[in-house]
Amino acid sequence: MKKSSLLAIVLAVVVAILLAATACGDDDDDSGADGGAAPEGPTITIRGQDFSEAETIAEVYAQYLQAKGYDIEILTAAGFRAEAVDGIRNGDLDLIVDYIGGSQTELRPDEDTSASPDDVISVITPAYEEIGATVLDYSPAVDGDALVVRGDADAEKISDLVGKNFAFGASAQCYERPQCFIGYTAPDVYGIEFGEEKTIEFGPLLGEALKAEEVDAVVWNTTAPQIEAEGFKVLEDDKGLHPAQNIAPIINTETLDAYGDTLSSDLNALSAAISTEDLLQWNTETDINKRESDDVAAEWLEAESLT
Amino acid sequence: MSGIQVQGSAVSRDVGLWEWFSNPETWTSERGILPSLLDTLTLCAGVMVVAIMIAVPLGASLAHKRKGEITATGVVNIGRALPTFAVAGLLVPISLRQGWGFEPWPIFIALTLLAIPPIYLNTYTAVRQSNSGAVEAARAMGFSERDVLFRVELALGAGLILAGIRIAAVQVVATEPIRAYLGGDGLGRYVRDGLGQNNQTLLIGGAILVAGLATATGLLMGLGERLVLPEGVRRLRVSQSRTV
Amino acid sequence: MIPEILANRNPLLRWDWVVNEWDQIQEALLQHLQLTFLSVLYGLLLSAVLAAFALRYRWALSTVTATTGFLYTIPSVALFGLLVPYTGLSARTAIIALTSYTLLILVTNIVAGFRSVPASVIEAANGMGLSPRRRVLTVELPLALPYIITGLRIATVTTVGLVTVAAIIGQGGLGRLILDGLRRAFWTPMTVGASLSVLLALALDLLIFGAGAAATPWTRRVRR
């Protein structure tokens, strides 16, 4: 008796869940183009990398183009740079937005990096051409690499860490990059010896670890909103190890040609409108105020009168 | 890049799997395979001891009293469905804020929750299904309830209980690598670094190490069961495991 | 107590998020169901074939058990990572990995089920002149069914839990919510993702249990 009524309740829950999941599952709101001549061309597939800022950036570019009447498909954010570049290479993706210095470490790891965005662009443009993609104008918005310490740390620039035996925390990627761990420890660059090296997933855990004094210095990004909120400080890169990290859209050349100049000028206009402060503000919304990246992107586009 | 002294962290992508495995440095350096293995085994052993200390007495006493049959399956199923990664991930910030650090509490608790269900279920089933004739006979011979539990029910069910412990141990060893994603190291570090650095050698090598360790754990514990169990109980186990 | 929780910007569960992001939650739940269903379905089909071999040939049993056992122990994160270069960040990658994790449980239970059929029953069926195929389908399969159902329950519950890990390759259903929460140190999606995944596992478990009980009415009398 008792058992069968329990079964009945659970079955009811199952049915309810299934109904909830299937019913009104997808109500696509294709607002489409608002009057005027919609640009003609193939569907543009976009996928953001799997962290808040990249997800918001992908949403901004996708929603902007959608409002201009382009045919856009936005995929769930997944993977990081390697997967984004692979997507461009094998044609799964038409448009990615990447940090230019990061793109260089992916495509031309052996060439010297530079703090000047134009130098970096001159390296990655031919590299992307090889895989059938075009690098459009870079944005003034920068999200650079940052070596971050607690506010009370006795250091202002990265070379101040020499001889301090700080405990160091960074993602697995950093440990194999000349512009990151390898550069910090190389005798001919910074020559720092860290007391301990910890691998920590990129993201808020870095801040938690720094605050809890599990580590004393972490490799983060300049637009991480927790830096200001927690009173951390970014050390000055006094030997110019970190490359320029402006954001730039990279688009499949065939797709770009199919649309002609309108697409590139539309994208360039958007890139020019984004500033570093905008990135910081978006991250504050998503990571501190816990809002969703698509809402944040829509709000910003509206406020800037871009949609 | 090879000219720069890197402190045991990065392995070049050009190094092949065999070359990596056959380099003694890979095994013995400060963050090499052997120290990582020891790290992993220590944590897993601790988890298993705690899980056994919780699950066996609880399962045995409840089953002896014939109580909590529905909760038995319910608890086990929740435990099985609980995403270990989410549990550990939720616990990490709490642990950090309490000043307990990244390790070992979050991963320890999450793995213990993973290990308890199979041990509990098998202990419960073993005691519950022990031959009622033997139990009645023991009572008739004047065994105390305590003796009935320890000398009859648990003794007869030992095979099933050990099997539960083995299943739990394999799961714990195979799941422990997630700790590499939560500020720890252990054997999972190679998988994490391989994925993060796009390095197939580390990724495949790490996967082989973890899968090999889990397989070895299962085999060795299976062998241990054979040695520990008396002939009669071993035979019993075969017929019993078929009725589960 | 309540005002204290409300005052916190990041409580374990923020109901307004659940309401606003209901679409996203539904989509995640649906994807979770799809991945689970397809993986267990393919797993069952593949296991049936493997189990048939294992029951037929002695050498096949140990090979199949060893292989599926090894697959089962590969850490899920690593298996996803290994497959991505070949099958991309796709549902296909998730399903291949998840299917491989169901094999050990399903094969073991199917084999145990058919082994549990008493030899006398098989002889009786042969004596009645049943063809081997009819004997397997009408006599052995129904008797093995309770074991197969048990295996199916364990495989399904395990798969529901493992689907969450597929979030690292952009699939993962409810795991997506968990990962998103981890990345942003935002507890609400983690709580929602983890608890819905547990509920889904329990619900599917009872569903299969119920279906199994309905399909094998003769086992009910044996139950104490």
Query: How many CB atoms are closer than 10 A to CB B231?
Result: 7
CA distance C57 to C60: 5
What is the distance in angstroms between the Cα of B94 and the nearest Cα belonging to chain C? 11
Q: By CA distance, what is B96's nearest residue in A? A: A212
- Decide if B180 and A199 are in contact by the 8 Å CB cutoff: yes
> If pLDDT is split at 50, 70 and 90, which confidence band does A31 have?
very low
Torsions phi, psi of A167, nearest 5?
-85, 130
ipTM score of the complex? Answer: 0.79
CATH of domain A44-142+244-303: 3.40.190.10
Q: By CA distance, what is B191's nearest residue in A? A: A172
The CATH number for A145-234, chosen from 3.40.50.1820, 3.40.190.120, 3.40.50.10490, 3.30.565.10, is 3.40.190.120
**Domains identified in chain C and CATH numbers:** 22-215 (1.10.3720.10)
The DSSP secondary structure of B142-157, one letter per residue, reads T--HHHIIIIIIHHHH
What is the distance in angstroms between the Cα of B200 and the nearest Cα belonging to chain A? 13
- Strands A247-252, A133-135: pairing is antiparallel
Annotated domain spans of chain A: 44-142+244-303, 145-234
Cis peptide bond N-terminal to C189, omega within 30: no
B89 exposed, middle or buried (CB, 10 Å; 0-12, 13-18, 19+)?
Answer: buried
Contact yes or no for A34/A40 (Cβ under 8 A): no
Contact yes or no for B75/B117 (Cβ under 8 A): yes
- Coil, helix or strand for A192? coil
CA distance B75 to B98: 29
Partner B contacted by C197 (CB < 8 A): yes
Chains that touch B (3 or more CB pairs under 8 A): A, C
* Segment-wise mean pLDDT, segments of 10 residues, chain B, 244 residues: 41 86 90 94 97 93 80 73 82 86 91 92 84 83 86 84 91 90 90 87 91 91 85 57 34
Partner B contacted by C182 (CB < 8 A): yes
The domain defined by B30-243 folds into: MetI-like fold (1.10.3720)
Contact yes or no for B51/B115 (Cβ under 8 A): yes
Partner A contacted by B6 (CB < 8 A): yes
**Selection from B208, B216, B172, B156 nearest residue B42 by Cα:** B172
Amino acid at A17: I
Question: Tokens 């259903």 appear where?
Answer: C173
What integer pLDDT is reported at residue C27 of this predicted model? 94
CA distance A25 to B18: 49
Contact yes or no for B83/C164 (Cβ under 8 A): yes
A240 exposed, middle or buried (CB, 10 Å; 0-12, 13-18, 19+)?
Answer: exposed
In chain B, how long is the greatest CA-to-CA distance?
80
Residues 64-83 of chain B whose Cβ lies under 8 A from any Cβ of chain A: 70
pLDDT tens per residue, range C142-170: 999 988 998 999 899 989 988 988 888 88
For residue A26, CA distances in Å to A20, A138, C22, C28 come to: 12, 36, 12, 12
Partner B contacted by A197 (CB < 8 A): yes
* Summary mean pLDDT of chain C: 88
- Give the tokens for residue A6: 């329990």
CA distance B163 to B152: 18
State the average pLDDT over residues C47-71. 91
Partner A contacted by C8 (CB < 8 A): no
Contact yes or no for C113/C149 (Cβ under 8 A): no
Partner C contacted by B90 (CB < 8 A): yes
Residues 80-109 of chain C whose Cβ lies under 8 A from any Cβ of chain A: 84, 88-89
Mutation for testing the B interface, residue in A80, A86, A205 having most B CBs under 10 Å: A205
Q: By CA distance, what is B183's nearest residue in A? A: A200
What is the distance in angstroms between the Cα of C132 and the nearest Cα belonging to chain B? 24
Contact yes or no for A50/A79 (Cβ under 8 A): yes
CA distance B81 to C199: 8
Cβ contacts below 8 Å, chain A against chain B, sum to 70
What integer pLDDT is reported at residue A79 of this predicted model? 86
Ranges A9-18, A88-97, C62-71: which has the least confidence: A9-18
